[in-house]
Amino acid sequence: MFIVDENREIVGYSAWPWDSVYTPMVGCFRDGQLVATAACDLLPQPGLDGPEHAWWFRIRVDRETTARLEQGDMAVRIMRLEDGVLLQPAFAVKPRGQRALRVEELVALGASADTTPLTGFTAFLKAPVAHQLGALYLDVLGRGIDPSGLAHYRTRLATGTSILQVRADLIRGGEFQGRSITVSSRIGSLITAPIWSELLEREPIGETQTPMPEIRLSRYRDLDDAAFIRALHRDCFGKEVDDGTAAWLTDGIGKGREWVASVLVRDAARANLLTDFAG
C-alpha cells in the first residue's frame, strides 16, 4: 500500500511475511525498467494506516513519473523486488484515456508475483561470510564477487556492518545503477531462498558457519507480561528496556506475545542486532 504525500514522495509499506529480520526492497518501475528503489526499514509514516513495525519506505521520483502513477498508468508501478508483489495505491487513480499499450507495458502488466516462500534469510545469515558475500554479489550485481570486494566487505562485516548495509552499498553503486532491472527481475530472491535452510545442514569446506542468537517464546512462558517484555528486550538488545518503550509494549501485549516479539526482533535487526526468531 502507498500514497503520494504533500512532498510528492511515494510513501508506503511492505511487510515481509516470512521473518522479522530481513528488510525487503521496493522499486518504482517505469515502462518496465527500474528507476528508483527504497528499503522498507522506516518506522510508521504519517498519512497512511498500516503496520506498527518498521516496514515503511519513501521513494522520490521525477514529477512526470509521479503524475503517471497517480493517473493509473499501468506502465508505472511500485513492486517488491524479491518476489514481484505489486503494491496498490491507497487513493483513487484518475482515469486515463484509452490508448494502445507498448510492448514493455504489456510485459509489465502481465508480470505476476512469485509464489515460492522466501523463508531462507535467517539460515543465510548462518552461512560462512564468504558464501554470504558471494551470494549477495550474484543477487544484486549479477556476477561473482571479486577478490578486492571480498576482502573489503569481509573487513566491514567483521567490524559491525550488516549484510543488509552491504546490500545498500551495492544498490547505491554505479554498477547496479547501470544494470537493466526489469519487472521480471527478482533482486533479493537469492539471499532469501529457502534452499539456505537445506545448505545449513551441510558442513562447509574451509569455512566456519556464523552463529546467531535464537529467540523462542517458550523460553519466557513462566514469566508474567512485564517480566517477559524486560527479558525479551534484554535478549534482543542486550540492555534494559526504557520506560516509554515498556509502556508502549505493555499497551500492545493484548495483540499477543508473538506480536511483541516480532516488533522487538524487527527493531533490533534495524540496529544490526540479528536474532533467529521462530515463535
Number of compact structural domains in the chain:
3
d(C-alpha 113, C-alpha 119), whole Å: 16
Task: Give yes or no for residue 109 having a pLDDT over 60.
Answer: no
Q: For residue 59, is it within any domain?
A: yes
Is 116 a member of any domain?
no
Q: Are residues 21 and 60 in the same domain?
A: yes
pTM of structure: 0.88
Indicate whether 187 and 236 sit together in one domain.
no
Residue with cell 556476477: 143
| Structure letter (DSSP) for residue 210 | P
Same structural domain, 105 and 125? no
Q: Are 178 and 85 in the same domain?
A: no
Q: Say if residues 114 and 189 touch (Cβ distance below 8 Å).
A: yes
Based on the fold, state whether residues 218 and 166 are members of the same structural domain: no
Residues 172 and 72 in one domain: no
Residues of the chain above pLDDT 70, percent: 90
Condensed to tens digits (0 to 9), the pLDDT of residues 206-246 reads: 666 677 889 999 999 999 999 999 999 999 999 999 999 99
- 110 pLDDT exceeds 60? no
243: containing domain:
214-277
- Asked whether residue 96 carries a pLDDT value surpassing 60, the answer given is no
Of 207, 221, 26, 236, the C-alpha closest to 129 is 207
Specify whether 188 is located in the same domain as 254: no
Residue 240 domain flag: yes
